Amino acid sequence: MPLPAALTQFLASVHPYDSLPDPVLAHVAQQCALHNVAVDERLFSLGDTVSSLYIIVSGEIEITDEAGVQLSILGSRNSFGERALLRGERASRSARATSASEVIALPAEVFHQLIDQHESVARFFDRRRPPPRTGNSLASLTVEQLMTRAPVTCTPETPIRDAAALMHRHHISSICICDPDGFHGIVTLRDLNSKVIVGGIDPLEPISGIMTEDVLTLAPQALVTDVLHLMVERNIHHVPIVNERGLLGIVTQTDLTRAQALSSADLVGRIARAEDASEMARATAQIPQLLVQLVEAGNRHEVITRLITDIADIATRRLLSLAEAQLGPPPVPYLWLACGSQGRQEQTGVSDQDNCLILSDDLTDAQMPYFAKLARFVSDGLDRCGYFYCPGDMMATNPRWCQPLRVWRGYFQTWIAKPDPEAQMLASVMFDLRPIGGDKSLFDHLQSDTLEAAAKNSIFTAHMISNSLKHQPPLGLLRGLATIRSGDHRDELDLKHNGVVPVVDLGRIYTLQGRLRPVNTRARLEAALAAGLLSASGGADLLDAYDLIASMRLELQTKQIKAGQAAGNYLNPSSLSDFERSHLRNAFVVVKTMQSAVGSGTGTLG
């Protein structure tokens, strides 16, 4: 087979080139060269100009950083060199063959043309690049994202009266008619009115007698605009969604209205006006749908988690207001604070509540029951809204975390002076505190004074560093990923505790070392980079690694929500392409390298 044809055939089996039109793929192959690389031969070294993207056909290529630390060993169908090409920089890594290899060299100018002209290629190589922004436009949504899953159904033999009762009970305007043979039709409130109430059909007759059989349906892959156009053209208000297996869901005019209106601002407004926790819960129940829309609109992970966290903040402040309306004005000033993911403004599709109360030192014992009731009212309300109770009881309902300011000062002084394991754990949680509602002056000096005292105590800092290294990236021997070995999540990766949390812990250590004020993890890394706690290259690598892991976690949760599952953190690496697995592993290697630097106390990292 001629070389261009052979290259075309190989590239057609490698993503993202398999997404290219045949003429484009053939043209790309004609521009490529195939190189045989001997053992120990270098494709490029630190500081070299990288002139090509390399795609491995066979063999193995080792990638090392500026310190000679192995970052990855890449095999067939993996690419390398894109980092320097995307950044327009000289190589910050070295690439060496560890076995006799064949590699395809794709010239830099061709690579950049593909990036500029083909979104699938651009998104594959640069995960930070957002897709075309469409916001909440209906044009950007598929029916599958919007439809009501598992709609209420009945059999064709069901009496009309019983079907009407089902509709009333579920507060719906239509019911789908199904049996083991499949989907047969639909009955709407308009049918009941025109055929039964006005038309006089006996309500004890089977529902099949009034159902619409030749129903206009759509497939789940259709665009929501297809639904809208169908409704307008045919003057209908309900569109069943079916595939070869039968009925999957239904889209109504109400669903369309909700899709157009749903935004974080919409949810915030509804929560801020809510009269009780139940009304708030109806709004927060839409957070998973909002998460999907934010991810699929191409927003960065730190923007998405900030918007999601804002909703929790508003819910907390509204509950505090409702509590005061019920209990009366607070007897002394107080401050409600969040810690954990809410404190760091990093909430995703699944979150518990971590919070506490700082009370004025003017508090008397007789006034304490007021704040116990306030804490219970707010925590119960948050649980009703989907922010479930903290398994470790790190909540204001625990008397230990509902105390005057002087007690809180004593807590931090004791933790710093005697950093036993419990003190390390508690300090890690409490260093992520962020004021939510109340008198913020109760926290200002506490935060700055605590950071100052902690940074000056080298023993405490050393213990905190040791504690931060307990969460390790899931790296296996050679070039594998270390998946969970048993239990419900066997052969999966925990993208929270072994992915995001190690970076969160690093950010907290940099905060202590530099007396930095940010609480958000990415803001902490940026502040550490600006303060010289991280070298330019080390900081850039860690930010890139964190962005990839955090984004992959949100993408996982989006897929789970769209599949009708609860959002979670466990990823099966077999669901990733070779390229994605390689880059995820590289991100974990960066995190592990930075952990080693912190643990060894080498000063400016990276």
| Confidence (pLDDT) at 141 | 66
Q: Which tokens belong to 282?
A: 């109806």
Contacts of 176 (CB under 8 A, 6+ apart): 151, 152, 153, 154, 183, 185, 186, 240, 247, 250
Categorize the per-residue pLDDT at 135 as very low, low, confident or very high, splitting at 50, 70 and 90: very low
Residue 128, pLDDT > 60, answer: no
Q: Given its phi and psi angles, is residue 112 left (phi above 0), alpha (psi -120 to 50 degrees) or beta?
A: alpha
Give the residue with greater pLDDT, 104 vs 144. Answer: 104
Res 30: pLDDT: 92
Distance (Å, whole) CA 566 – CA 351: 12
Indicate whether 405 pLDDT > 80: yes
Q: How many helices (H) and strands (E) does the chain have?
A: 24, 20
Percent of the chain with pLDDT over 70: 94
Rounded CA separation 343/337 (Å) = 8
For residue 513, the tally of other CB atoms under 10 A from its CB is 19
Query: Which tokens is 317 given?
Result: 């402040």
Residue type, 272: A
Q: Tokens for 389?
A: 């109770």
Return the residue matching tokens 């502040």.
527
Three-state DSSP string of 335-391: EEEECHHHHCCCCCCCCECCEEEEECCCCCHHHHHHHHHHHHHHHHHHHHCCCECCC
Instruction: Give the side-chain half-sphere CA count within 13 A for 16.
Output: 13
- Which pLDDT band holds residue 603 (cuts at 50, 70, 90)? very low
Residue 553 has, within 13 A of its CA and on its CB side, a CA count of: 27
Give the 3-state secondary structure of residue 101.
Answer: strand
Whether residue 157 is predicted with pLDDT greater than 90 in this model: the reply is yes
Confidence of residue 606 (pLDDT cuts 50, 70, 90): very low
Length of the chain: 606
Structure-model confidence comparison of residues 171 and 376, the more confident one: 376
Amino acid residing at 542: L
**449 Cβ partners below 8 Å, 6+ apart?**
409
d(CA 556, CA 142) in angstroms, rounded, equals 18
Q: Is residue 413 within 8 Å of 391, Cβ to Cβ?
A: no
Mean predicted confidence (pLDDT) in 489-504? 94
pLDDT at residue 503, rounded to an integer: 96
604 pLDDT band (50/70/90 cuts)?
very low
Top mean-pLDDT range of 6-20, 185-199, 453-467? 185-199
User: Quick one: pLDDT band at residue 216, thresholds 50, 70, 90?
Assistant: confident
Q: What is the pLDDT averaged over residues 322-329?
A: 96
229-262 pLDDT, tens per residue?
Answer: 788 767 888 999 998 788 999 998 877 766 655 6
Mean pLDDT in residue range 567-573: 94
Per-residue pLDDT of 292-312, as tens digits, reads 888 887 788 998 998 899 899
In degrees and rounded to multiples of 5, residue 517 shows phi and psi of -90, -25
Q: Give all strands of the β-sheet with 94-97 in edge-to-edge order.
A: 42-44, 94-97, 61-64, 70-74
Question: What is the DSSP track for 129-189?
Answer: SPPPP-TT-GGG-BHHHHSEES--EE-TTSBHHHHHHHHHHHT-SEEEEEETTEEEEEEEH
Tell me the pLDDT band of 133, cut-offs 50, 70 and 90: very low
Cβ proximity of 549 and 495 under 8 Å: yes
Enumerate the β-bridge partners of residue 1: none
Instruction: Give the model's confidence band at 605: pLDDT under 50 very low, under 70 low, under 90 confident, else very high.
Output: very low
The pair of structure tokens assigned to 304 is 């998405």
* Radius of gyration for the alpha carbons in the chain, expressed in angstroms and rounded: 29
Find all residues with CB under 8 Å of 92, minimum gap 6, and list them: 46, 65, 66, 83, 84, 537
